[in-house]
């Protein structure tokens, strides 16, 4: 797989932005919404390759010490080697949006309920993959880290 920095690919003009509409959650809430936007700022259409029927990005949750609380969950890979590719096009100077309801579970849930965590940050990681001239070109895009505060109300 080729590195996008050596191919002058439109992937270089792809920006990943994360918004959290409700950045304050109750300690006992079970989920919260994420708005994820991929902006194509290039002068050409961007044709991305993702896996069919699978969320095309991962979600990282960081505590105030810089520890990724869901890193084990992100490492669970599919053993299905027959996955189908899905092609997605983002037109030049346009955007693709995702709305995701993130379920609070495992370590994050324990830390919030036990009052060990009063705020955390969320980051989206998107492996941008393009098929250009018979080669896959990739770039790992990271969103901004958006803060979520936890309250007792």
Locate the DSSP E strands across 21-84: 24-26, 31-40, 46-51, 58-62
Rounded Cα distance between 108 and 117, Å, is: 8
Q: What is the pLDDT of residue 74?
A: 44
Structural contact between residues 136 and 129, judged by C-beta atoms closer than 8 angstroms: yes
pTM: 0.83
pLDDT at 50: 84
For the chain, domains (ranges, CATH) are 2-151 (2.60.40.2360)
Which range among 2-11, 20-29, 49-58, 109-118 shows the weakest confidence by mean pLDDT? 2-11
Residues 48 and 89 sit within 8 Å (Cβ to Cβ): yes
Q: How far apart are CA 2 and CA 40, in angstroms?
A: 20
> Could you read off the pLDDT of 22-76 as tens digits, one per residue?
999 999 999 999 999 999 999 999 989 887 877 889 999 998 888 888 764 444 4
pLDDT for the residue 41: 95
Q: What is the pLDDT of residue 71?
A: 62
Averaged pLDDT, 130-134: 82
pLDDT of residue 6 exceeding 60, the answer is no
Structure tokens that stand for 137 in this block:
């070109």
Are the C-beta atoms of 9 and 138 separated by less than 8 Å?
A: no
């Amino acid at each position: 797989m080729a590195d996008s920095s050596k191919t002058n690919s439109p992937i270089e003009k792809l920006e990943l932005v994360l918004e959290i509409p409700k950045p304050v959650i109750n300690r006992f809430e079970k989920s919260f919404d994420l708005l994820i936007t991929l902006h194509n700022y290039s002068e050409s259409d961007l044709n991305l390759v993702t896996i069919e029927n699978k969320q095309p990005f991962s979600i990282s949750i960081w505590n105030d010490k810089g520890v990724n609380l869901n890193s084990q969950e992100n490492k669970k890979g599919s053993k299905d080697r027959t996955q189908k590719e899905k092609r997605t096009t983002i037109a030049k100077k346009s955007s693709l949006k995702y709305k995701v309801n993130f379920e609070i579970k495992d370590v994050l849930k324990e830390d919030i309920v036990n009052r060990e965590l009063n705020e955390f940050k969320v980051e989206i990681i998107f492996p941008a993959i393009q098929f250009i001239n018979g080669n896959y070109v990739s770039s790992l895009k990271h969103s901004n880290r958006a803060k979520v505060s936890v309250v007792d109300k």
